[in-house]
Amino acid sequence: SYVLSQPPSVSVAPGKTARITCGGNNIGSESVHWYQQRPGQAPVLVIHSDSDRPSGIPERFSGSNSGNTATLIIGRVEAGDEADYYCQVWDSRSDQSVFGGGTKLTVL
Amino acid sequence: EVQLVQSGGGLVQPGGSLRLSCAVSGFSVSHNYMSWVRQAPGKGLEWLSVIYSAGTTYYADSVKGRFTISKDNSKNTIFLQMNSLRAEDTAVYYCGSLYCTSGSCYFDFWGQGTLVTVSS
């Protein structure tokens, strides 16, 4: 099955830009979606289809996807962005969803 | 307003069974794809199962043959029947609705999660 790899943790200072990567074989040919999960809460969709923001998600959140790496980019990071972030793709060949292992974003 | 309200979690002994429910408001499960995802304590998200609008189902290998996803369109509710439960099934279970476009699907709405603990 398809495997997605994320770094376990990323740290960033307030006001700076955070980049969280999601690696997969030729992931650039897949549509990648990103979720934010705060402790004790359900995940929330922050980016879908590589780079589209759902309504209500700040413009500071953006995404890119090319080659073997998709990236979630959070600009002007705030303390409230501290959370776990997961990438996800839908494997249409097996009708299954695949999640990355998750990345804990720490705001210094 | 879309809401997914879960119920049915709790403590169960190894080898036992449990049924989770996910009551949906704001859209019809008869026209949407619905799915279950779980998260073991301190771990990441694990996809479990999907049920398409026509009723076709798919499962992750970790639960195939033990878990069954179903739905009651008249009650606008989906279910996860879990049999032969093991300690490693201990997790928070989430239901979610899938939006699918151009061959890909993502979770646009989530339930609040329900804790299942498998222990003697």
pLDDT computed for residue A14 by the predictor: 97
Question: Which residue positions in chain A have pLDDT lower than 50?
Answer: none
Reported as a pLDDT band with limits 50, 70 and 90, residue B58 is very high
Q: Does residue B109 have a pLDDT over 90?
A: yes
Q: Does residue B67 have a pLDDT over 90?
A: yes
Q: What is the mean pLDDT of residues B9-31?
A: 97
Q: What is the mean pLDDT of residues B26-47?
A: 97
Q: Is A30 an interface residue toward B (CB < 8 Å)?
A: yes
Query: What is the rounded CA–CA span in Å between residue B36 and residue A101?
Result: 17
pLDDT computed for residue A87 by the predictor: 98
Contacting residues of B for A95, CB less than 8 Å apart? 50, 58
Long-range contacts of B26-33 (CB under 8 A, 24+ apart): B26/B1, B26/B2, B27/B2, B27/B97, B28/B73, B28/B76, B29/B53, B29/B71, B29/B73, B29/B76, B29/B77, B29/B78, B30/B71, B30/B73, B30/B76, B32/B97, B32/B98, B33/B97, B33/B98, B33/B100, B33/B105
Q: What is the mean pLDDT of residues B73-88?
A: 97
Q: Does residue B100 have a pLDDT over 90?
A: yes
Reported as a pLDDT band with limits 50, 70 and 90, residue B78 is very high
Contacting residues of A for B105, CB less than 8 Å apart? 90, 97
Contact (CB<8Å) A96/B45: no
Q: Is A43 an interface residue toward B (CB < 8 Å)?
A: yes
Reported as a pLDDT band with limits 50, 70 and 90, residue B75 is very high
Of the residues A4, A97, A99, the best mutation for testing chain B's interface (the one with the most B CB atoms within 10 Å of its CB) is A97
pLDDT computed for residue B76 by the predictor: 97
Closest CA to A80 of A39, A45, A47: A39
pLDDT computed for residue A1 by the predictor: 83
pLDDT computed for residue A81 by the predictor: 97
